[in-house]
A and B are shown apart, each in its own frame.
Chain A
Amino acid sequence: MRTMSTKLKVWWAVITVLVLVYALFPVLSILATSFKLPSELDLGRFFPKTWTTTNYEQILTGSAKDLFLPALRNSIGISLIATFVAVVLATLAAYAIARLDFPGKRLVLTTALGVSIFPVISIVTPLFNLWRNIGLYDTWLGLIIPYLSLTLPISIWTLAAFFRQIPWELEQAAQVDGATSWQAFRKAIVPLAAPGVFTTALIAFFIAWNDFVYGISLTSTSAARPVPAALAFFTGASQFEEPTGAISAAAVVVTIPVVILVLLFQRQIVSGLTQGAVKG
């Protein structure tokens, strides 16, 4: 490898700093706000004058706890279940698409594409009415089902792209070497398929975790309301004193898992997103 000239090094340093500022500045901004005293919010400073954990106390043990903690539980539970169901269904479908030849294969993929561009709000109105009639309004199941419209299509695309790259001949090779078909599948295929399934689950989870439209339209209490929707209700509390600090603290809490996952798995997430996207 060529050694970089000093000029080039400086350039890359500048570019890296610019990208970091772009990506992290709004996050830092809300992080800083979350440590501000409510009385010092309007100082117009970026960093707090006095650092305080009041806002975190308020959402975790204080007055906003009954709004935030159930929402956090709902968000985690509903997103995990919606991700799990989507990944299981998508794994089966993607396996069929990658390995089998059957009429309608393209139809399944085209449908997934169609569903992924579907305007969420167009689904909400009829579901809102139906859910109220059959008792699914404001329940976990009432959110998990529509969440599948978000998580399932991208899971199918991503997994189909992953599975197409698996050298399935390995399975037969293992069988020739004396492995039973189950052993061949487990020892040869599962280790190759697992990273793809895991990456898909991550991406699907991000999407479910991000939902706001369903969350705010199909719930009314803390029985099923997820965090993004709950955050919007923090604001409505009082007209004169906006709970800026509490919202910021809650926003930071729900952002932490995302940042950890991104730090741990950036390589997988990037490959998952780009593979599902453009692979000729």
Chain B
Amino acid sequence: MSTDVSTPERTTGKPAKTPRSERARAEARLGWWLAGPAFVVMLAVTLYPILQAFFDSLFSYRLTAPDDKAFVGLRNYGVILTDSVFWQALWVTTVIMIVSVVIELVLGFALALVMHRAIKSLRGLLRTAILVPYGIITVVSAFAWFYAFDINSGFVNHWFAWLPGISEDTNWFAHQGTSLFVIIASEVWKTTPFISLLLLAGLAQVPTELEEAAEVDGATWWQRLRRVLIPNMKAAIMVAVLFRALDAFRIFDNVFIMTNGSNGTTVLSLLAYRTSIGRLEIGLGSAISVLLFLCVILICFVAIKLFRVDLAGARGER
């Protein structure tokens, strides 16, 4: 967009190309001198490890017996993809991702509307309150929810014993469904503020005249929401959903703290961690890491191609 602004055109007798390209080149050089270090560091901390992981995944390689390292091609992937443990983890991860993102979207939208509409004197208070879960360490959130539901130290069972299915002896962390319920609750609590702030930014971009016009025309609150607000902030919603979905797909902290994967709550990140850091099976662990990475790419690809999420556009650069 701004190309022609910074390249002065010369109409003198001199060949117009020389000063222009020299200046442009100097600017490009300066640009890379400034942005280069950050760029190199980013590649060094991600591109290098994933390539190394891919390389390691082709070997049968355990740190407990490093001398037995042997090239096995794609056999590690075969082992993982035929193991039900992997598919179970993928399924659990996907369930957590979908359920938490759906709840967060609804809740986050409500919070964004509240912050958007609130009068000045309340706005500061509401924002401060909402930022508290955002700032809190995920592990702390996990412990807070865990202790609240825990059969020994929790109060939830006492408070909600009148509900069918809950009694003093309800052990939330002994079953898959109830464990996932608490895990998702903690995840939703901690990350909804983030999604609501993204949505708030989207709301702020909807021209107020549109809504006012709809109001004058007698549209109900629900109609304004569905016909005016949501269509006008579709891009912001899509970006928020994609970002949170990718984030939720990496879930680790909450599961590690609350169940450590017991009762069918193992997620992909935890499986990778256990395999490589816990059991020191670098080859297999690397293969899981690569598969997890491919899943993230796949989610991105589907979102961008199928749902036409314009990440870069909506995030600033056009």
A7 at the interface (CB under 8 A from B): no
Q: Which residues of A contact B122 (CB under 8 A)?
A: 12, 16
Q: Given A115-B46, A126-B286, does the pair A44, B144 have CB atoms closer than 8 Å?
A: no
CB <8 Å contact, A26 and B129: no
Of residues 222 to 280 in A, which have CB atoms within 8 Å of B's CB atoms? 227-228, 231-232, 235, 242, 244, 247-248, 251, 254-255, 258-259, 261-263, 266-267, 269-270, 273-280
Q: Given A117-B243, A121-B250, A262-B135, does the pair A251, B128 have CB atoms closer than 8 Å?
A: no
What does DSSP make chain A's interface, helix, strand, loop or mixed?
Answer: helix
Q: Interface centre among B24, B53, B132, B236, by most A CB within 10 Å?
A: B132
Q: Which residues of A contact B168 (CB under 8 A)?
A: 44
A119 at the interface (CB under 8 A from B): yes
Q: Which residues of A contact B58 (CB under 8 A)?
A: none
B154 at the interface (CB under 8 A from A): yes
Q: Which residues of A contact B140 (CB under 8 A)?
A: 30, 228, 231, 251, 254-255
B173 at the interface (CB under 8 A from A): no
Q: Given A149-B46, A276-B316, does the pair A244, B119 have CB atoms closer than 8 Å?
A: no
A111 at the interface (CB under 8 A from B): yes
The number of chain A residues with a CB under 8 A from chain B is 104
Question: CA of A55 to CA of B30 in the docked complex: distance in angstroms?
Answer: 55
CB <8 Å contact, A212 and B138: yes
CB <8 Å contact, A41 and B152: yes
Of residues 117 to 172 in B, which have CB atoms within 8 Å of A's CB atoms? 118-119, 122, 124-141, 143-145, 147-148, 150, 152-155, 157-159, 168
B114 at the interface (CB under 8 A from A): yes
CB <8 Å contact, B27 and A100: yes
A101 at the interface (CB under 8 A from B): yes
What does DSSP make chain B's interface, helix, strand, loop or mixed?
Answer: helix
Give a binary string over B3-43; 1 marks a CB under 8 Å from any A CB, 0 the rest. Answer: 10111000000000000000010011111101101110111
Q: Which residues of B contact A46 (CB under 8 A)?
A: 155, 159
Q: Interface centre among B48, B111, B144, by most A CB within 10 Å?
A: B144
B252 at the interface (CB under 8 A from A): yes
CB <8 Å contact, A29 and B273: no
CB <8 Å contact, B42 and A213: no
Give a binary string over B261-279; 1 marks a CB under 8 Å from any A CB, 0 the rest. Answer: 0000000110011001100
B103 at the interface (CB under 8 A from A): no
Give, as a whole number of angstroms, the nearest-CB distance from B148 to chain A.
Answer: 5
Which stretch (A90-98, A180-188, A189-197) binds chain B?
A90-98
Question: CA of A242 to CA of B100 in the docked complex: distance in angstroms?
Answer: 29
Give, as a whole number of angstroms, the nearest-CB distance from A71 to chain B.
Answer: 12
Q: Which residues of A contact B200 (CB under 8 A)?
A: 270, 274
CB <8 Å contact, A101 and B3: yes
B311 at the interface (CB under 8 A from A): yes
Residue in A156, A248, A267 whose CB lies within 8 Å of B147: A248
A42 at the interface (CB under 8 A from B): yes
A118 at the interface (CB under 8 A from B): yes
Q: Given A109-B312, A251-B143, A276-B315, does the pair A228, B137 have CB atoms closer than 8 Å?
A: yes
Which stretch (B72-80, B214-222, B287-295) binds chain A?
B287-295
CB <8 Å contact, B257 and A232: yes
CB <8 Å contact, A212 and B249: no
Q: Given A30-B147, A217-B277, does the pair A212, B52 have CB atoms closer than 8 Å?
A: no
Residue in A102, A164, A263 whose CB lies within 8 Å of B31: A102
B314 at the interface (CB under 8 A from A): yes
A77 at the interface (CB under 8 A from B): no
- Which B residues contact A (CB, under 8 angstroms)? 2-3, 5-7, 24, 27-32, 34-35, 37-39, 41-43, 45-46, 48-50, 52-53, 56, 63, 111, 114, 118-119, 122, 124-141, 143-145, 147-148, 150, 152-155, 157-159, 168, 186, 189, 193-194, 197-198, 200-202, 204-205, 235-236, 239-240, 243, 246-247, 249-250, 252-253, 256-257, 268-269, 272-273, 276-277, 282, 285-286, 289-290, 292-293, 296, 300, 311-318
- Which A residues contact B (CB, under 8 angstroms)? 4, 12, 15-16, 19-20, 22-24, 26-27, 29-30, 33, 41-42, 44-46, 89-90, 92-93, 95-97, 100-115, 117-130, 132, 145-146, 148-149, 152-153, 156-157, 160-161, 164, 206, 209-210, 212-213, 216-217, 227-228, 231-232, 235, 242, 244, 247-248, 251, 254-255, 258-259, 261-263, 266-267, 269-270, 273-280
Q: Can you offer 20 A-B residue contacts whose CB atoms are under 8 A?
A: A26-B145, A26-B148, A44-B155, A100-B30, A100-B34, A104-B32, A109-B316, A118-B46, A119-B250, A122-B53, A124-B289, A125-B277, A125-B282, A126-B48, A128-B277, A157-B316, A210-B138, A217-B273, A244-B147, A266-B127
